[in-house]
């Protein structure tokens, strides 16, 4: 019998509790490379759906970072160095326009695994007016063409959630795994051990503040899959 446990998001379009001016398109949510690749790139196009010009800033957050790896981003007129997690200069996006300056750069430095970085684009005059997206950077050993698809989690439902949500998971038989629920600041707010190869995770969100969270499936100490959840209570 499948074990039912308590727990939690990525990469589907999400909306926050309050009305947003932003949306995005063209998200390369999963970027793949091997240990031979020195640099990976990801791209997103951010749309200003409002009738006003907005000075939009960007923050980056580590959901899970493979030790020894690095990442940075470009936004607006600048590309920022490794370790910089907030844009110093906003990108001015006219009403109805699309901002195409975002680029995520990932330096794997030969370390195998998946790093997940979340990004928030927000109105500098109203930080609650924002949109979030996350990118998985996958580095595999030389000669491997695909990441092992046996480790996965489904998108949570309902999403947005009020008091409860659920999702399914699959892991390679015999693997040691856990599910982590991570907020947008990169803090783990819940952690659940996974003891079966397949199952259903039921999560109470009643104790979680409204906002965006990530469900991270960690198998043998490595981040294998991520989903995103919006809590709206």
Taking the chain (233 residues) in consecutive chunks of 10 residues, what is each chunk's mean pLDDT? 33 41 85 85 91 96 94 94 94 93 93 93 93 90 53 85 86 83 85 82 88 87 83 84
- The answer to whether residues 66 and 139 touch, using CB atoms and an 8 Å cutoff, is yes
Are residues 163 and 99 both part of a single domain? no
Are residues 35 and 132 both part of a single domain? yes
Q: For 47-165, where are the alpha helices, taking DSSP H only? A: none
Are residues 166 and 187 both part of a single domain? yes
What's the CATH number where 80 sits?
A: 2.60.40.10
Residues 47, 93: Cα–Cα separation, whole Å: 8
pLDDT of residue 58: 97
Number of domains in the chain: 2
Rg (CA), the chain: 18
Are residues 176 and 210 both part of a single domain? yes
User: Which domain does 201 fall in, by range?
Assistant: 4-13+148-231
Are residues 26 and 136 both part of a single domain? yes
Are residues 107 and 184 both part of a single domain? no
Are residues 93 and 55 both part of a single domain? yes
Last residue of a domain, one of 82, 113, 140: 140
What's the CATH number where 181 sits?
A: 2.60.40.1930
Torsion angle, alpha carbons of 64, 178, 229, 150, to 10: 90
77-to-56, 92, 124 alpha-carbon distances in Å: 12, 10, 16
pTM: 0.62
């Amino acid at each position: 019998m499948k074990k039912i446990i308590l727990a939690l998001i990525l990469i589907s379009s999400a909306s926050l509790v309050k009305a947003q001016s932003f949306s995005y398109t063209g998200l390369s949510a999963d970027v793949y490379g091997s240990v031979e690749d020195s640099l990976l790139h990801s791209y997103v196009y951010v749309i200003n759906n409002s009738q006003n010009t907005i000075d939009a800033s960007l923050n980056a957050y580590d959901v899970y970072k493979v030790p020894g790896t690095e990442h940075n981003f470009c936004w607006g007129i600048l590309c920022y160095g490794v370790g910089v997690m907030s844009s110093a200069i906003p990108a001015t996006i006219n009403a109805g326009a699309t901002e195409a300056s975002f680029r995520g750069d990932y330096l794997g430095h030969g370390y195998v695994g998946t790093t997940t970085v979340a990004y928030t684009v927000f109105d500098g005059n109203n930080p609650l007016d924002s949109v979030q997206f996350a990118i998985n950077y996958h580095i595999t050993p030389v000669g491997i063409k695909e990441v092992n698809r046996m480790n996965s989690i489904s998108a949570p439902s309902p999403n947005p959630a009020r008091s409860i949500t659920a999702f399914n998971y699959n892991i390679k038989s015999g693997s040691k795994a856990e599910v982590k629920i991570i907020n947008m600041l990169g803090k783990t707010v819940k952690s659940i051990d996974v003891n079966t190869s397949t199952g259903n995770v039921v999560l109470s969100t009643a104790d979680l503040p409204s906002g965006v969270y990530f469900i991270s499936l960690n198998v043998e100490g490595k981040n294998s899959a991520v989903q995103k959840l919006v809590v709206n209570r």
